[in-house]
Amino acid sequence: MSRFLADTRPRCDPAFHSVSNFYREEFAKCKRCLDQQREFYSEGAVADVEKALTKVMSQLDRLCTTADADQVVSRLLRQFDIVTGLSAWSDPRHIH
């Protein structure tokens, strides 16, 4: 009976957590960038993007377990980049 009470979840791979944490930080950067540009968007648009970011971040661990995680998460980041322009902010070629 004690074997049923023990925590039998598989131990998570540290590499998985590294990838998940990396992507989580990238989405957090998108959020910070959006916050800095809040005045240029309607409240509704900001609320929609924030809701989408929250949803993606809450499902990030699950997304990172899929075979095509890199492609899926990269596509999501590119879609958020269209709104936030984060890549232009962090690209040294665009710094004046």
Residue of higher predicted confidence among 16 and 84: 84
List all residues 6 or more positions away from 40 whose beta carbon is below 8 Å from its beta carbon. Answer: none
Phi, psi of 76 (to 5 degrees): -60, -40
For 84, how many CA atoms within 13 A lie in the half-sphere containing its CB? Answer: 26
**pLDDT confidence tier of residue 96, bands split at 50, 70 and 90:** very low
Asked if residue 89 has pLDDT above 90, the reply is no
Answer yes or no: are the C-beta atoms of 24 and 1 closer than 8 Å: no
